Amino acid sequence: MSVKYIIAVLSALFLFASAQAQPSLDEELENYADMCSRCMGLRTRIQAGDNVSRDEAEATIDLFLAMNRRLKSRESEMTALQRQRFKDVGEWFTTGIRPFRPSALPSVVCKTMPVPPVYSSDVRLAVPDSRLPEPVVPGQDAPTDPSYRYIVLAEMSAPDLAYGIRAGIMGRRIGGYVSFRSNFVGAEAAYECTSDGRLPNGSTMWAGGEERKENLAVTAGLLLNTASWLSLYAGAGYGSRQLFWQDIDEQWAKVSDWSAKGLTVESGAIFRWNGLAFSAGVSSVGFRTLSGTFGIGYCF
């Protein structure tokens, strides 16, 4: 009789120790939610640009998946409230949005549906080296990519007066632009002379007193962002700076040593402030002329 008593006592002690060694479902679900919170914290740090190692991210996710498998094996022991909490934490991890649930479930018996597996070993492949994907909130538009901006400026040049437009697109670091300027003035030259009035045959031109200046520049180039408020630009294209004099017979002569056309190069800077853009630079036609360019416009 005493032996049976001893065996019964030992069995009871063993069952009590086993029950104490295995945490309750509520404790495991609490730890499961805490581990999901750690995963979301890592996601927030990565999105904020913090330096989070891939090993740390994968180790945290692996631990979360192990807890998921353990709870999945004990799902038959869960109450309706515990199953709902298990599902909510899974949705939180998958979407990045913590589901809102009332503090108490209504006293209505609901038919439960089997919960499909949420995770697999492929989850770790979804963790990039430097950034986790941002969750999309249902009902909201997907976030737009702010990495490209457009710029349009009205420009003028001096002392070779010309008016025009510059338009470009800027990425995070580099971009491109096109530019056009002209004074929309020209003349058909019947012959050429030099700035001292001499003709190619050695005679002298009899000037009538009128003159015309033709200024034209068509260029394209690159933009380089050096700061949030500053971009540098450089480009090349075709340009013309022509000076014409009218003689006493009302014919036009091109002043050859004050005229140039062909390759045009330019460089400068664009300053941005509250959506406004201001430009300043220099340009040259055939490296024989030098003009300043100035502009104002919008950046959006």
Q: Identify the residue whose tokens are 């430009």.
A: 279
Full-model pTM: 0.51
What whole-number distance in Å separates Cα of residue 71 and Cα of residue 89? 12
Considering the segment(s) 149-299 as one domain, its CATH architecture is Beta Barrel (2.40)
**3-class secondary structure, 96:** coil
Walk along the chain (300 residues) and give the pLDDT tens digit of each residue: 454 555 455 555 544 544 454 567 888 888 888 888 888 888 888 888 788 777 777 888 888 888 888 888 888 888 888 888 888 888 888 887 877 665 444 455 556 666 555 554 444 444 444 444 555 555 555 444 557 889 999 999 999 899 999 999 998 899 999 999 999 988 889 899 998 888 988 888 888 888 899 999 999 999 999 998 999 999 999 999 999 999 888 899 999 998 999 999 999 999 999 999 999 999 999 999 999 999 999 998
For the stretch 20-35, what's the b/e string if a residue is b when 16 or more beta carbons lie within 10 angstroms of its beta carbon?
eeeeebeebbeebbeb
pLDDT for the residue numbered 112: 61
CB 198 within 8 A of CB 255: no
pLDDT for the residue numbered 9: 54
CATH 2.40.160.20 occupies which residues in the chain?
149-299
What whole-number distance in Å separates Cα of residue 58 and Cα of residue 278? 48
pLDDT tens by residue, 114-159: 655 555 444 444 444 444 455 555 555 544 455 788 999 999 999 9
pLDDT for the residue numbered 223: 96
